[in-house]
Each structure stands twice: as C-alpha cells, then as structure tokens.
Structure 1
Amino acid sequence: MADDSTIPFPSPMTPAAGRAEVFVRYLDFYRETVLAKAAGLPEAELRSSRLPSGWTPLELLKHLRFVELRWLEWGFQGRDVAEPWGDRKDDRWHVDPSESLADLTAALRAQGVRTTAVITGNDLEAVGRPGPRWAGDDPAGLERICFHLLQEYARHAGHLDVVVELAGGPVGE
C-alpha cells in the first residue's frame, strides 16, 4: 500500500542526531499521516461517525492536539493551560460546529511546532514539573512522555485507517 502522508516514513536506516530527533521525526510523520487521511474525507464524513464509540475524524484531530498540549506543556513544562481538556464535553470528545478541518489542521500543526521545541529544547532524561496534570503522582520523564505520545498517535492513526477505508477514502500505511 502506498504511504499517503506528506512526509516520508522515518526509516530506522536514516541517521539521526539523537533520540530526540527520532521522536520528533516519528511524531511529525504520524501527525501528517492523520492530517492527510482526514483531508481525504468529505465534510460529511469528517463530522459523522462510522463506529459504535461515536467519535468523528475531526474529534480525533482535536483530541491529538490536546494530547500533545496536556502531556508536554501542561504536564512536562508545568505551564498554566486554560483548558487542558478542551477536546472534551460531557465526558466525550467534542468539536464545535464552527470548527473546520482547516482550523483543526492549523491548530494541530502549531501544537506540533511547540512539541518539537519542548522535545529538542530539553534533555530526554528530564522529569516534568509538579502540577495538576499529574493528579498528585510523581511527574513523568520526557522520554516516557515521548513514548506515550508515539503510541497514542500510532493507535489513533490505525483507528483512522479503518474509518477512512469504511468511508471509501484513500487507504495506505
């Protein structure tokens, strides 16, 4: 199957300056992969669900943006974030009707820029700052957070693969 993302898969054979660069490459790849898959769907498919769980592709994009925000800015950096759970309403993912694919794409890419800055600007051995993200637990280390973000993206990219295929959209790895 052809790859439908806008950037190539980060091959293990391509040299990297270090682990942080590897994490950034994979996160960029998965972020662009889910954006490309969503962009291949008509508006009606972006806002409807083909799954019993009820989530929509637009909700997934918004969720991924907030996952990065929660783990890196609110969690690791300990920043004050006005709405860390802004992707949720009534205990489920939510996208306002006024939010468009273009809006959510821009927000996810902008979050990716901030994610890259956090990952490349800190030692992967660094531990997050204490704060509300950790709910009283010890903060996680940056490398562990990066692994978590990668599994989140890989899992949700697979979910979106199924939804896009069911909708008759482009398929690929």
Structure 2
Amino acid sequence: MPPFPDPTGPPAPRAQVLLGYLDYFRGVLAEKVADLPEEDARTSRLPSGWSPLELVHHLVHVERRWLDWGFEGRDVGDPWADRRDGRWHVPEALSGADVLALLEERGRLTRAVVERHALDEVGAPSGRWEGADPPALERVLLHLLQEHARHAGHLDVVRELVDGRTGEDG
C-alpha cells in the first residue's frame, strides 16, 4: 500500500498530490478486502445490503464514470455496470482477486487521464452531466477523493464487524 501522503513534505504539483491521496485510499480499500475470505468479501453485514467487493467494484466504476465518460467524454458502454436491480453488483464470474485487479488497473488509468490534462481544464460535454456544464479536472478529483475516503471508512466498520480489526489495523 502506498504510504499516507506526507502533509509536511516538500511542495509537489497539485495533480501529483491528489493522485497520491487517491493511490493511498485505493491501497487502503484493497488492503481491507484482500485478506477477507471470499465468502466474507461477498457477504453484507449492513442493513443497506452491500458487500465489501461490491463497494470496491462500485468505486472502480465511479472513477470510470467521472473521468472516462464524464471528464473526457468517452463512450464507456454501460457506465452503470456496477449496478443491477437498483443496487451495487459484482458479477459472479469476478473473484475477489479480479475485483482488486480492476481497482489497481483503474488507478493506472486514472493517473493517465490526469497526466494528459491540466487541473483547471474543463471536461468535455457528456451524458454524465445531464446537460449541466462539465467541471474542471481538479473538482472531479476532489469528488473522487471524497468518495474513496468515505468508503474506506465504511470498510473500517465492516472489518470491525467481520473480525474486530479497526482503522489502521485492518
């Protein structure tokens, strides 16, 4: 897992700082799911019904929706492929290792998108924005950081329910 970005380190370009935080939170998410037995990774322990693998798969698609489809305006097929019947879904054919590999690959794809554009560049018009003006890349990245950090906290709770591991310990 990448180390937590050092807030007192030397100044770095903002894009690299934001990517560093995204890499860190992706690592946290992967670490919290990687050592779960497959059954626990696919089982919900919460009234809302999502499983740890569904949450990770969802975040892969969130990055895809916001960056590939939304910001760059590219056709991604079904942008909502992480959902079925109104809830998050992971196809049975995907193992836990497969979902974690998708998360790792998504990190590389996200980095490539960010490195192709300036943070103040406004995204392409796309169906993602439902007619609204597209945001600048920096706003997209801040939204993605919020999503990843919030969901990492959700996985903290799930890990505590599964095996008692909390926060930085799990």
Give, in angstroms, the shift of residue 99 of structure 1.
Answer: 1.0
Show CA shifts across 1:43-85 (max 9, x none): 1111111100000001011000000000000000000111111
Partner of 2:90: 95
Partner of 1:166: 161
**Partners of 1:16 and 1:159 in 2: how far apart?**
31
TM-score (norm 2): 0.95
Give, in angstroms, the shift of residue 172 of structure 1.
Answer: 2.9
Identity over the aligned pairs, expressed in percent?
A: 56
Q: Contact 1:124 / 1:141 at 8 angstroms: preserved in 2? A: yes
Give, in angstroms, the shift of residue 166 of structure 1.
Answer: 0.6
Show CA shifts across 1:127-153 (max 9, x none): 010011111111111000010000000
Partner of 2:80: 85
Show CA shifts across 1:102-133 (max 9, x none): 11111111111010111122100000100111
**Partners of 1:123 and 1:94 in 2: how far apart?**
33
Give, in angstroms, the shift of residue 17 of structure 1.
Answer: 2.9
Quote the RMSD (CA, aligned, Å).
1.1
Q: Contact 2:34 / 2:100 at 8 angstroms: preserved in 1? A: no
Unaligned runs of 5+ in 2: none
**Partners of 1:34 and 1:16 in 2: how far apart?**
26
Q: Contact 2:34 / 2:97 at 8 angstroms: preserved in 1? A: no
Partner of 1:127: 122
Say which SS state the counterpart of residue 167 (structure 1) adopts: helix
Say which SS state the counterpart of residue 112 (structure 2) adopts: helix
Q: Kindly indicate whether structure 1 or structure 2 has the higher relative contact order, using CA contacts under 8 Å at least 6 residues apart.
A: 1
Unaligned runs of 5+ in 1: 1-5
**Partners of 2:41 and 2:11 in 1: how far apart?**
35
Say which SS state the counterpart of residue 51 (structure 1) adopts: coil
Partner of 1:149: 144
| Structure 1, 9-18 or 142-151: larger mean CA deviation | 9-18
TM-score (norm 1): 0.94
Q: Contact 1:40 / 1:169 at 8 angstroms: preserved in 2? A: no
If each structure's helix is expressed as a fraction of its own residues, which one has the higher value?
2
1:22 and 2:38 equivalent? no
Matches within 5 A, 1:2-81: 6-81=1-76
